[in-house]
Structure 1
Amino acid sequence: MTVCMDPGLLEDRGSDALMEALGSMECKYCITPQILPCSITWKRNMPDSLSVTDGSPLKAEEEDEVLVLVEPWDFLKRLFSLMQSGSNVPLWSGPDLTQILPLNCLEGDSTKAYSLVVIGLDAYQWYNQHQERQQVLIPEDQGRREDPSPQLSVTQQEIEEALVMLQLWGNTGVLFLDTWQEFSQHVSVMTKAIAKRPYKKQLGTLPFSFCTDGGWSSGVRVEKDGTGLREAWRKQLQQFNRVSCAMAEAIAAAYPSPSLLLQAYEKCSTKKERLLLLSDIQVKTEENGKERQIGPDLSRRVYLCMASTNPDLVLDISA
């Protein structure tokens, strides 16, 4: 995985934080001109052919994500232009997003996933509003500055409306950050997520991917000699809604395996006995150490799960 950065990003003195973050990740990065100024893209080395062998040539494929850094003044200027032209656009035609986005390919057939980042918008607006208040106090004959740029009058509500418009019509998100440190952390998180995507995609195609050994915090390793079977049974009981670890442990202690529970159900003479078989099992609560019973609701749900042949049966009617 290689992070490709436009040279325009390095013109800001805060870019040192980004370089340090990428260096700490021990990932490859390169500084090369991008199609979009001040943007970041990602490339992954893939086999050049279907047959993968040692020493086979690799080709760099560009990922779909594109992260674009936009200056606060530029963002407000484009937003103001969009507002000025929006009143003359029919509702069914949609807005011209090229007025607010620093790119022209969003409304085409591009498969790229664009996201914008604006650093220091709040500080920029506060500074300019403070400057406006100072200028008001200066008499005109003492060289008062000309009227401020009209884009500085953009309100928070108008910004939020523009964000919704970008998301709905351009499938583009905008992230507002205060510092370059936050921007560096965001780039690091995106880099890790993009790097892990093929693994997660392959993991989702495996049968019973939710039970991967060592890959999931709730997964349980079962040895050939049966070690771990009781823990797997307890984890399975915890999949029921509103079942704590203590409740699952109490049931597993009374019936250490599903087969033993099925045998207990077979010994019951009536269906009512089966439904209430687990209801009297005592559970010690974690809060105060007092004991309480499993109760008829969970007992009923466990029995229906173990005995029913209907795959569409709703076990928890209160969910």
Structure 2
Amino acid sequence: MSVLRRAETWEISESEEETDVETKPDSKLSDSGRTTTTEAEHHPSSNHKRKTPSATGSTSGQTSALAPPRPHGSVAASPARKRRTREEVEADRQRAGERKEERERQRAAKAREKEERRQEQQRRREAAEELRSVRPENCLKSLTVRIDPALLQQDGSDILLDSLAAFEWRFSIESQQLPHSITWTRDLPQVLVYLQLCKNISVVFLNGWQEVTNHVCAVTKALSKRPFKLLTERVELPFCVDGSWASGARVERDGSGLIQVWCKQIQQLNRVSPAVASTVTAAYPSPQLLLQAYQSLGSEEERKGLLAGLLVKSGGKERRLGPEMSARVYRCFTAQNPQLVLD
């Protein structure tokens, strides 16, 4: 006999508490399980068959509750942008700083080269200007002839002033330290031209104003040419003899060539021509023979005139060697004073 029984209140309440804890999908499964249990109580004969689906349904509900939630939306999200590390940022910053420093170095090198080129051009310009200033035509512009007024009180002195004015040279009339004198000055910080005279005073005895005028003009021209001449004649060995005949002579082991050396040694003296040197070397083939000839003579006058009277042949003409040349050669080979002037 079958008896229908209503479910107790505690059974429903217990099922509702479990439903509150689980998720919404699990609620449906719990209700299904609860219904199955109730039906199982009404039908004891089918209890074994009903419990198996309930257990399966409960396991499925627990598995669904543990599964992670699915992402919202059916489209997959794009991969995120890769972020640079701090080392990469520092490396990029260092490379940028190096590029900046390289640009600064190149800019400084260009500026330095530009400054060097400018300085080189300035040096060349100054050298060219200095060369132009020492030329005679330009040096004349810096010279001034200073005439003492007492000198112009004599008759005929106007010839000097007229000549200076005609050449357009600068001159001034002013009192000098030495009365009746003429001096020359140049607008330069350092004097480049000097005259080797006693106490820096030049004394010249002239007859008439025409000779004075000629002398002043000659000295003025000489002073204007002197700086340029010194510049062009500047050499490392100024004591060497100039000229095509001043080259050395080759001496062989047998002694050939010594006569040429002896001849050139005599030519180093002032105003000794190759013809005069050949005449002396022909009479005395070596310096030792000449010194022996000087020692054989008893007086100084005889030694000085030893070479006087020798016959010199030059250009088809013949002449005698003078006593002045003979005395110069004697002083050259016998003098003991190194500061002695031969002429």
User: Considering only CA atoms, is the larger Rg found in Structure 1 or Structure 2?
Assistant: 2
Instruction: Using CA pairs under 8 Å that are at least 6 residues apart, name the structure with larger relative contact order, 1 or 2.
Output: 1
- Between structures 1 and 2, the one with greater helix share: 2
Fold equivalence (TM over 0.5):
no
